[in-house]
Structure 1
Amino acid sequence: MLILKVISRLLDYPTVELFAAKDELVAIVEKTDELSQKNRTELVDFICQLTSRDIFDAQESYDLLFDRGRALSLLLFEHVHGESRDRGQAMVDLMNVYKTNGFEVNSSQLPDYIPLYLEFLSEQTPEFIEEWLGDICHLLTMLSERLIDRECYYSVIFDALIDISGQEVDRKEVADAVKQEERDDTVEAIDKEWEDKEIRFDDPMVGDCSSASGIQSSKNSLDPNTVHQVPIKWHDADAAEVSGL
């Protein structure tokens, strides 16, 4: 699915090559059948707005947005497993799915990096794509609402992915939860995150899960008991829907 390749590039770090490909990207978005007219228009506007900026300003804004704090991390398992030990095994499982389906990872990024995940999905069948995007639809909605709350135009990228997934989401519930969150990208929040903490031998182990579903919640994550979420399911690599790929 070519539109997923486009979205993957748009969500990755801005480059001169990306800016130079503006017309090609716009043409692909305008012709795609996988998006509603509303999302096509918004995505084209996003491309034009992004590529009209100075490249260095765009790169700096990107770093401040996605690499400062965890709330907008582009690593899926950052939001699912946090710092728990389950995160490492999830990485291994996802990488095995990539390999089983003939997807070669030529990147220094972790396998759960969303642009890489989208690159993988772009080579799969429409049914596979809808199911796997559906698995992370609650995360895409959360990220979109956090970006909307910060009045950031990158939200349209996640809205486009939700559109492709075909999932119905309760945006109001997620938006209300996001408004209750504390920002983790302020200087004060970052200082607090890195400050030395007292070592206590009676503290629970890092890998302990705080919810019955097995997802570890953090102060920067939506409460899985408040928002209707489904833990990411990494499907069996040899399942019928991926055979022959």
Structure 2
Amino acid sequence: MMTDVQIQPIFQLCSYLLNYPDEAFVESLDEVKAELDTTPFPEIQHELEQFCLKAKNQSLPSLVSTYITTFDFGKKTNLYVSYMAGGEQRERGMDLLFLKNYYKMHGFHVTDKELPDYLPIVLEFASQVEVAEMEPVFTRYMKSIAEIAGHLNPNDNLYGHIFQAILQTLERTGIRAMNSEVFHYV
């Protein structure tokens, strides 16, 4: 099993790498790769290095196009994890409220710029708390994250590498998806 200190930087990097790419993002990829050298898990390091390598080898317009096509227009690959679980249904509103309150309870404040189920925000939260505190969130949304990953083959879409790293990290924490579709509020 991974320790909190080993997990938190990985989730921080994954959150960062799922940001909308711009010139500064592309320029930062060498720094990200250097940070990956401290990752004690070769398979996770490999996935994130592959993403960085592929991102650096694309032109910025191509990378932006891939991002938009994958996450903004991809119904099955959007980054709102409660959407995957509940779609546009009323239950999604309950999930969003739960997440906002759960984050606040653990000292993590989300701005109104983004919904609390936005995967980079979920990962940012996970990068700042212990496994026990992140577990209820990932337990609920593990199936959604795995479903997104299932639609992003790393051979065809560079973002698939990030999702493989997320899943491998979650596997090492021992966090599993809920068996029941009922959401238990903590």
User: TM-score, with normalisation over the residues of structure 2?
Assistant: 0.83
* Distance (Å, rounded) in 2 between the aligned partners of 1:5 and 1:91: 21
Cα separation, partners in 2 of 1:59 and 1:89, compared to 1, 3 Å: same
1:65-104, CA deviations, whole angstroms, 9 ceiling, x for partnerless residues? 1111411111011111112111112111111111121112
Within-5 A mapping of 1:4-19 = 4-19=11-26
C-alpha distance in 2 between matches for 1:83 and 1:132: 19
State whether structure 2 residue 109 is matched by structure 1 residue 104: yes
Rg larger for: 1
Q: Highest relative contact order (Cα 8 Å, sep 6+), 1 or 2?
A: 2
Q: How does 1:1-40 map to 2 (within 5 A)?
A: 1-33=8-40, 36-40=41-45
Task: After superposition, give the CA deviation of every residue in 1:131-159 in whole Å (9 maximum; x if it has no partner).
Answer: 54343222222111111298212112111
Contact 2:138 2:175 in 1 (8 A): no
Q: 1:132-211, aligned counterparts within 5 Å? A: 132-148=137-153, 151-166=156-171, 167=174
Superposition CA RMSD, Å: 2.6
CA distance in 2, matches of 1:119, 1:73: 17
Q: Is contact 1:93–1:234 with CA below 8 Å preserved after alignment?
A: no
| Cα distance change, pair 40–134 in 1 and its aligned pair in 2 (3 A) | farther
Provide the residue aligned with 1:61 in structure 2. Answer: 66
Cα drift, residue 124 of structure 1: 0.2
TM-score of the superposed pair, with normalisation by structure 1: 0.64
Q: CA deviation at 1:117?
A: 0.8
**Aligned residues between the structures:** 177
For residue 31 of structure 1, report the CA deviation from its aligned partner. Answer: 0.9
Contact 1:66/1:73 (<8 A) preserved = yes
Q: Which runs of 5+ in 1 are unaligned?
A: 170-227, 237-245
Instruction: Provide the C-alpha distance between the structure 2 equivalents of 1:59 and 1:232, rounded to a whole number of angstroms.
Output: 37
Give the 3 Å change call, closer, same or farther, for CA 120–168 of structure 1 in structure 2.
closer
Q: 2-side partners of 1:150 and 1:45: how far apart?
A: 10
